[in-house]
Amino acid sequence: MKVNMEEFNLQNDYKIKSLTVENIKLVESLCKKCSDYYILHDGILPSTEKAKEIFTAIPPNKSYDDKFVLGIFNYSNELIGIIDIVKDFPVIEQWMLGLMIINPEERGKGLGRMIHKALVQWTINLGSKSLRIGVIEDNYKGIKFWSNLGYTKIKEVTMDFSKKTHIVSVMTLQVNN
């Protein structure tokens, strides 16, 4: 049975709540605002298909019950960020962050740290012992952000994306000892 994320309240009236494919227009709009990420990562502007992939792409041997797409909303109830996370992947008790994007107008305000803190607590409550993320080597700000949160690189892999091939730093964080 899928566990939905109840609404989490953050500082400054920001909220995290579950998204569904019915929210695709909101998600697509945010992806376009975050085109800097998509150009860096994929080499192309985000499309409707890319927005749909946030809901439909699942890792091997996982089901939709294991995947959560979470929206970050500001005080005006505007979608300003998205988190895509899969539980127990690639191993039991490790959760993989597939995506975390924040509207460029909202970056640099400590929101990423607030979101991450709430996400860590939520995953711990559901049995997580560690989190995992892959960050492309060209995403210097991303590597710095995740490293500052305590993530450490465990390996590098080469991956093909839409129009680019990247070396990806696989990083983990122990959240429950």
Q: pLDDT tens across 132-142, in order?
A: 999 989 899 99
Q: pLDDT digits over 90-143, tens only?
A: 999 999 999 999 999 999 889 999 999 999 999 999 999 999 999 989 899 999
Bridge partners, residue 85, by sequence? 68, 97
CB-based contacts of 140, cutoff 8 Å, min separation 6: none
Q: Tell me what the pLDDT averaged over the chain comes to.
A: 90
Residue whose C-alpha is closest to residue 41's, from 98, 95, 107? 98
Q: Is residue 144 part of a domain?
A: yes
Cα 119 to Cα 117: distance, rounded to the nearest angstrom: 5
**Could you list the residue range(s) of the whole structural domain that residue 63 is in?**
8-174
95 part of a folded domain: yes
The answer to whether position 1 is within a domain reads: no
Question: How confident is the model over 46-79, as pLDDT tens digits?
Answer: 889 889 999 999 998 999 999 999 999 998 999 9
Quick check: helix, strand or coil at residue 89? Answer: coil
Residue 73 covered by a domain: yes
- pLDDT value of position 3: 47
Say if CB 114 and CB 10 are below 8 A apart.
Answer: yes
Q: Which CATH number fits the domain that encloses residue 24?
A: 3.40.630.30
* Domains identified in the chain, total number: 1
The answer to whether residue 14 sits within a structural domain is yes
Cα–Cα dist 164/64, whole Å: 27
Q: Is position 51 within any domain?
A: yes
Bond prior to 46 in cis (omega within 30° of 0): no
In a domain, 2, yes or no: no
Q: Which residues of 3-27 are buried (b: 16+ CB within 10 A; e: fewer)?
A: eebeebebeeebebbebeeebeebb
Q: Is 148 exposed, middle or buried (0-12, 13-18, 19+ CB in 10 A)?
A: exposed
